[in-house]
Amino acid sequence: MTARTAAPVDDEGREVPVPGTVRRVVSIVPSLTEALEATAPGIVVGATDWCTHPGDLGAERVRGTKNPDVERIVALAPDLVVANQEENRPPDLDALRAAGLPVYVTDIRDVDGGLASLGRMLAACGLDEPDWLREARALWAAVEPARDRRRAVVPIWRRPWMAVGSDTFTSAVLDRLGVVNVLDGSPERYPRFDPADLPDHDLVVLPDEPYRFTAEDGPEAFDAPSVLVSGRLLTWYGPSLLAAARELPGALADARRPAR
């Protein structure tokens, strides 16, 4: 652990009154839970129901990212609560602060910014930069985007159809790999769409979360080649960025046209 000389400032510019030693953290973001546990196993004492990594996480569950159980979190007496600007609601974070808990908020919009943000968050917990973070930074620095940029749509739900829109981490990840999200200019982050009324595209990226697309459920709705990928590689930031850098380039290049 690293000694702090001043109170850390989170990604929203707030000075966070973190105690000198952080031993108990409640994380209300799955990616942050994984990042913390990969760095200091056992430090997370409370996590959301959606925190699936690591698989042996023994933390108490505090409901979801959008409806955390504030009373249960307070009862856990954490030294720090870690959150994210997009994933968590301001009223819940304000309630935690009003209860006397320090809350550190991350704001992660792209790969490089995400890696830097994770480093700051871990440092706020008094943790040294871990090997996985250094390796992820090196891997993404070495990623070479595809020479021919592809134009993709990234559905995330069906009935109704919804897709990744503007200002998302997913779009930023794909952009680093040479893939343009054709709905990135949408006024919404996750717009509804009609498969028959999409901008020109030559790729459909179908993740397995939040909707679980499969070879039999999804590709048949589009004329363009499609690829099934782990949603975790597109939307999670943390140790998952290691697998994303290694696996996504090949997966995106291996898109197949739907069977007719």
SS (H, E, C) the chain: CCCCCCCCECCCCCECCCCCCCCCEEECCHHHHHHHHHHCCCCEEEECCCCCCCCCCCCEECCCCCCCCHHHHHHCCCCEEEEECCCCCHHHHHHHHHCCCCEEEECCCCHHHHHHHHHHHHHHCCCCCCHHHHHHHHHHHHCCCCCCCEEEECEEECCCCEECCCCCHHHHHHHHCCEEECCCCCCCCCCECCHHHCCCCCEEEEECCCCCCECCECHHHCCCCEEEECHHHHHCCCCHHHHHHHHHHHHHHCCECCCC
pLDDT given for residue 254 in this prediction: 78
pLDDT given for residue 1 in this prediction: 65
Which domains are delineated in the chain? 25-139 (3.40.50.1980), 145-253 (3.40.50.1980)
pLDDT given for residue 37 in this prediction: 98
pLDDT in tens, 91-118: 999 999 999 999 999 999 999 999 999 9
pTM equals 0.91
Residue type, position 61, single letter = R
User: What residues pair up with 228 in beta bridges, in sequence order?
Assistant: 206
- Contacts of 130-139 with C-beta under 8 Å, sequence gap 24+, read 130/38, 130/39, 132/38, 132/39, 132/239, 132/242, 133/35, 133/39, 135/242, 136/239, 136/241, 136/242, 136/245, 139/241, 139/242, 139/245, 139/246
- 44-47/25-27 β-pairing: parallel
pLDDT in tens, 201-229: 999 999 999 999 999 999 999 999 999 99
What is the rounded CA–CA span in Å between residue 25 and residue 47?
9
Q: State the 10-residue block means of pLDDT for the chain, 260 residues long.
A: 77 96 97 98 98 96 98 98 97 98 97 97 97 98 87 97 96 96 95 96 96 97 95 95 95 71
Full strand arrangement of the beta sheet holding 226-229: 179-181, 150-153, 203-207, 226-229
Question: Buried b / exposed e across 139-173, counting CB within 10 Å, b at 16+?
Answer: ebeeeeeeeeebebbbbbeeeebbbbbeebbbbbb
